[in-house]
Chain A
Amino acid sequence: DAGITQSPRHKVTETGTPVTLRCHQTENHRYMYWYRQDPGHGLRLIHYSYGVKDTDKGEVSDGYSVSRSKTEDFLLTLESATSSQTSVYFCAISESPGQSNQPQHFGDGTRLSIL
């Protein structure tokens, strides 16, 4: 398995609190991604990074920010969590931006519940 660790694996918090999810990789891959997965919607890209301090928005970026100060760590922050952000969050990494021979590898997810 690709060396991807997401933490925490589960979190329950209250509306309005800040939340930070961490993705740590040991593969030295350049590209890192944050997705959310909700019933009926599949996986949707929140933000991604193409290098240290280089990030860009995905399809559903509103309410989320990211930071990447080291190659191995990609942080996702909910500044003020809302119930609509209850979801399962997946981090993915890839060596190149394409999918053909360098596919994304996914972590095992963080289950976040916002009450």
Chain B
Amino acid sequence: QKEVEQDPGPLSVPEGAIVSLNCTYSNSAFQYFMWYRQYSRKGPELLMYTYSSGNKEDGRFTAQVDKSSKYISLFIRDSQPSDSATYLCAMSTDSSASKIIFGSGTRLSIRP
């Protein structure tokens, strides 16, 4: 069993919809949770960074962490075609970048 599981998609939604992306994990020691966005033929870029449980909002993006269920989510409101990308969840037991475990990514397509 992988430490981090992520549905690969693809997920296709109409423009303006609310998108929900999710990951589950098995290691209860994970404390740092991240979401990356990766456009085709590009490197990932950090979207959201959360420590421990709770919600974090940044513009149209909201990250949620539920440690009791070992489940994290990324919500995108008012989705735009420019949000079409692969979204990677990632997590680690400490803040060190060398310890990050990445999910395999969900491909998202926003239809105009």
Contact = CB atoms under 8 A, between A and B. Distances in A.
Interface in A81-115: 90, 92, 94, 97-100, 103-109
Contacts, number: 68
A60 interface: no
Given A39-B104, A44-B102, A106 B97 contact: no
A104 B97 contact: yes
Nearest to B88: A42
A42 B102 contact: yes
A100 B95 contact: yes
Nearest to A91: B43
Nearest to A47: B98
Interface residues of B, number: 25
Scoring B32, B96, B100 by chain A CB atoms within 10 A of each residue's CB, the highest score goes to B100
Contact of A106 (B6, B43, B90): B43
B41 interface: yes
B8 interface: yes
- The DSSP consensus for interface residues of chain A is strand
Size band of the interface chain A makes with B: 20 to 34
Interface in A47-74: 48, 56, 58
A13 to B, nearest CB: 20
Nearest to A40: B104
Given A98-B97, A108-B42, A103 B49 contact: yes
